[in-house]
Amino acid sequence: MIDAVIFDLDGLLLDTEQVWDEVRETLTRERGGRWHDGAQADMMGMSSLEWSRYMHDELGLADPPEELNGLVVKRMQERYREGLPVIDGAVEAVHRIAARWRLGLASSSNRELIDIALELMDVGDLFAATVSSEEVERGKPAPDVYLEAARRLGVRPEQCVAIEDSANGIRSAKAAAMRVIAIPNRHFPPAGDDQAEADLVLDSPAELSVDAVESASSRRER
């Protein structure tokens, strides 16, 4: 029996993974850092504390991590206000699933970005609990953010289905003992082995339905 469905945000509801990439790369190059091709993949799923420390330690930016975090979040807010990149069918999918189950959100985004995104999508009232990875000890692929979302919803993790797009997100939800539906992001799709860890793989949010969630929930644990 499924008691709740927990959504990711970036790469699933919002086509923002490349926006994060552009903002952090631009800032790194402006500040004389050492950007490299694997930086985006390395930071995907990290909490704000983790990726800002990564930018300082691994990409060589002299600014303190907390200042880097603030700079990136400010630029991301500006980009959201200019035009939120909502993935086709995402808002409709949220409404379909909300009509059947209580919803949570477990995101690597900062709290400010979660709130502004849900406001601009006009779906904030559909989520009974939202969690930023900056509010837990560890970011994805650790299970902390999903476990906290289940705790705030007042449900057992085993009775939740998570909707994810990335390798670290899939690993995070599986580590929390949840069933997982993967909807791979077209810009940064998880590898085949990571997709295989999901209980169900869909091509787009348009395919996310009550039947799909019930199908994923009926799969045996791997």
- Is the backbone of residue 159 left (phi > 0), alpha (psi -120 to 50) or beta? alpha
Among 8, 165, 194, 199, the one annotated catalytic? 8
| Beta-carbon contacts of residue 52 (< 8 Å; ≥ 6 apart) | 65, 66, 68, 69, 72
Q: Phi then psi for 70, rounded to 5 degrees?
A: -65, -40
Q: Catalytic site residue 165?
A: no
Burial of 218 (0-12, 13-18, 19+ CB in 10 A): exposed
Among 10, 15, 194, 199, the one annotated catalytic? 10
Q: Catalytic site residue 3?
A: no
| Beta-carbon contacts of residue 182 (< 8 Å; ≥ 6 apart) | 164, 165, 170, 190, 195, 198, 200, 201, 202
Query: Which active-site residues does the annotation give?
Result: 8, 10
